């Protein structure tokens, strides 16, 4: 099981040229570096970002949904793995239990060790666009909780439910969209595709399920020991139109699901070039 001394392999720390404008709105004002995987999900010593790629206004928007995912959904896990953080990582965590017999809900602050090492995510239907359906606003799927055998059981008592975190599929999907969009620009260049995701990321479109979804390829996923996250691109052809997809698997070592994000239409003449880029 991973712990503070876990060494994550295959961590990409590739360096990219400065973009010089916001990859979401195009502004050239008040630019800062954009982390491809949020800083709070990167291991200590890791650094993976696109320089000068987000304006202040868009950074305020992305910070909000990333904060909800990183603290509400993944906070205790990040602290247990000792991932990067702008603030000091917590050494204690709130543990909320619900006693089924009398309905008593109790919240206690406990040392981090007393909280199970679990990872939360979603098993989502694939993106609507890949299924040729009309754009929808609601995600279809179920919550996923992954943990190593024994890790959750030792924290459970008979008749007592344990609150593991708050999970919001839309916030999570916007975080995945941001990872996929910034990765695609870093890796393949802005000119190689017509982007679909900036409006989703900025909260100006409600149709996230059309572009962000799970991977129901039927290929069973295995835990990837020591691989923290895996992100890679792939091209896909739908009715003669090539699309650029980015696969995102956060916490791969815990056997979490893989998401497939449709980042855009591949620009005319770019497909051959993209095929030559090793994924
Ligand atoms: Zn912007």
* Ligand 1 center to 56 CA (angstroms): 7
* Ligand 1 center to 198 CA (angstroms): 9
Beta-carbon contacts of residue 260 (< 8 Å; ≥ 6 apart): 126, 127, 130, 213, 214, 215, 245, 246, 247
Residue 22 lies in a domain: no
Banded pLDDT at 278 (limits 50, 70, 90): low
Residues in the 5 Å CB sphere of ion ligand 1: 22, 24-25, 27, 55, 58
* Ligand 1 center to 219 CA (angstroms): 37
E strand segments, 63-218:
92-99, 105-111, 119-124, 141-146, 160-162, 193-195, 212-214
What pTM does this model have? Answer: 0.92
Among 265, 131, 137, 108, residue whose Cα is nearest residue 192: 265
* Ligand 1 center to 84 CA (angstroms): 24
Among 39, 26, 32, residue whose Cα is nearest residue 78: 39
Q: How many CA atoms lie within 13 A of 51 on its CB side?
A: 6
Number of folded domains that form the chain: 1
User: pLDDT for 240-276, tens place per residue?
Assistant: 999 999 999 999 999 999 999 999 999 988 888 887 7
* Ligand 1 center to 235 CA (angstroms): 27
Provide the pLDDT for residue 2.
44
**Phi, psi for residue 128 in degrees, rounded to 5:** -55, -40
Residue 15 lies in a domain: no
Domain that holds residue 185: 32-276
Residue 7 lies in a domain: no
* Ligand 1 center to 203 CA (angstroms): 12
Residue 16 lies in a domain: no
pLDDT at 232 exceeding the cut of 90 = yes
Residue 11 lies in a domain: no
Residue 222 burial (CB count, 10 A):
8
Residue 8 lies in a domain: no
* Ligand 1 center to 277 CA (angstroms): 28
Provide the pLDDT for residue 6.
58
Residue 12 lies in a domain: no
Residue 190 lies in a domain: yes
Q: Determine the straight-line distance between the first and last CA of the chain, rounded to whole angstroms.
A: 28
């Amino acid at each position: 099981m991973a712990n503070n001394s876990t060494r994550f392999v295959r961590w990409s720390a590739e360096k990219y040229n400065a973009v010089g404008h916001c990859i979401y709105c195009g502004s050239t004002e008040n630019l800062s570096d954009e982390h491809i995987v949020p800083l709070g999900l990167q291991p200590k010593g890791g650094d993976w970002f696109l320089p000068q790629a987000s304006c202040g206004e868009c950074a305020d928007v992305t910070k909000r949904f990333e904060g909800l995912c990183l603290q509400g959904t993944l906070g205790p896990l990040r602290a247990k793995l000792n991932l990067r953080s702008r603030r000091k990582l917590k050494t204690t965590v709130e543990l909320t239990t619900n006693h089924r017999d009398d309905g008593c809900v109790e919240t206690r602050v406990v040392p981090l060790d007393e909280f199970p090492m679990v990872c939360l995510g979603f098993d989502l239907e694939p993106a609507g666009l890949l299924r040729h359906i009309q754009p929808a606003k609601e995600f279809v799927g179920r919550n996923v909780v992954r943990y190593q055998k024994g890790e959750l059981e030792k924290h459970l008592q008979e008749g007592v439910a344990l609150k593991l975190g708050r999970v919001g599929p839309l916030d999570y999907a916007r975080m995945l969209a941001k990872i996929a969009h910034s990765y695609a620009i870093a890796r393949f260049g802005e000119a190689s595709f017509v982007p679909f995701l900036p409006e989703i990321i900025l909260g100006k479109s409600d149709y996230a399920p059309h572009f962000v979804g799970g991977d129901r390829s039927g290929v069973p996923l295995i835990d990837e020991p020591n691989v923290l996250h895996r992100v890679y691109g792939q091209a896909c052809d739908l009715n003669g139109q090539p699309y650029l997809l980015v696969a995102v698997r956060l916490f791969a070592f815990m056997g979490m699901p893989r998401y497939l994000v449709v980042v855009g239409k591949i620009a005319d003449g770019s497909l051959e070039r993209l095929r030559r880029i090793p994924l």
